C-alpha cells in the first residue's frame, strides 16, 4: 500500500478497544495526516439501531487524545452514506475502510467515483476476536 498525504476513516468508536487502536494505527502508517470521523448519535441510533454507551463528546475526546490521530471530526449519516460528500467536505486522498466492505455494490460505486477525482479507498483487516458488540454481550453475562 502506498503512502498518502491525507487519510480518513469513519466509525462510532464506542467502548474504545484494541481493535479500534489497531485500525487507527494502521491508517496512520499509510498517511501523513489522519482524520478520524466519528459518527454522530443520530447515525448510531437510527442506522445502527444501537444506543451508544459513551456520549459523542466523550467518543470524540478519546479519539482526539490518540497520538496517531491528527484531526477528529463529527460526521452525520449523509456524510457516511455519500462518500463524495465526505470527500468534498474533508479533502482527503484516501478513505480507509474495513475489508468487509470490499466488493460491495456501495463501495464499488464509491471506488468508481473516487477514481474520477484521484482519491482512493484502501481496505484494512479488522482485529479478530474483539468488537464493541462482543464487549457489550460479555458485560450482560
- What pLDDT does 114 receive? 96
Active-site residue flag, 50? yes
Query: Per-residue pLDDT averaged across 26-39, rounded?
Result: 97
pLDDT reading at 68 higher than 60: yes
Catalytic residue, candidates 2, 3, 28, 50: 50
Intra-chain end-to-end CA distance of the chain, in Å:
41
| pLDDT confidence band for 134 (50 / 70 / 90) | low
- Residue position matching grid coordinates 475502510: 97
**120-124 and 4-11 as β-strands: parallel, antiparallel, unpaired?**
unpaired
| pLDDT confidence band for 141 (50 / 70 / 90) | confident
Query: Residue 90 forms beta bridges with which residues?
Result: none
Cα distances (angstroms) measured from residue 5 to each of 69, 96, 109, 123: 14, 13, 23, 17
Q: Across the chain, what does the average pLDDT equal? A: 89
Record the pTM.
0.88
pLDDT reading at 133 higher than 70: no
pLDDT reading at 139 higher than 60: no
- What pLDDT does 135 receive? 57
User: Cβ of 71: how many Cβ atoms within 10 Å?
Assistant: 14
Q: Please state, for a pLDDT cut of 70, what percent of the chain lies above it.
A: 89
User: Which domains are assigned to the chain?
Assistant: 4-140 (3.40.50.620)
Catalytic residue, candidates 3, 48, 108, 109: 48
| pLDDT confidence band for 51 (50 / 70 / 90) | confident
Amino acid at each position: 500500500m502506498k503512502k498518502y498525504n491525507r487519510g480518513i476513516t469513519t466509525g462510532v468508536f464506542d467502548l474504545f478497544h484494541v481493535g479500534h487502536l489497531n485500525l487507527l494505527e494502521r491508517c496512520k502508517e499509510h498517511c501523513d495526516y489522519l482524520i478520524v470521523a466519528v459518527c454522530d448519535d443520530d447515525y448510531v441510533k437510527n442506522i445502527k439501531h444501537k444506543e451508544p454507551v459513551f456520549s459523542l463528546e466523550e467518543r470524540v475526546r478519546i479519539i482526539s487524545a490518540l497520538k496517531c490521530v491528527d484531526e477528529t471530526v463529527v460526521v452525520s449519516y449523509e456524510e457516511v452514506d455519500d462518500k463524495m460528500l465526505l470527500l468534498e467536505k474533508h479533502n482527503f486522498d484516501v478513505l480507509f475502510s474495513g475489508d468487509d466492505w470490499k466488493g460491495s455494490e456501495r463501495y464499488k460505486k464509491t471506488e468508481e467515483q473516487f477514481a474520477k477525482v484521484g482519491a482512493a479507498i484502501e481496505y484494512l483487516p479488522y482485529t479478530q476476536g474483539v468488537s464493541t458488540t462482543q464487549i457489550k454481550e460479555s458485560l450482560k453475562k
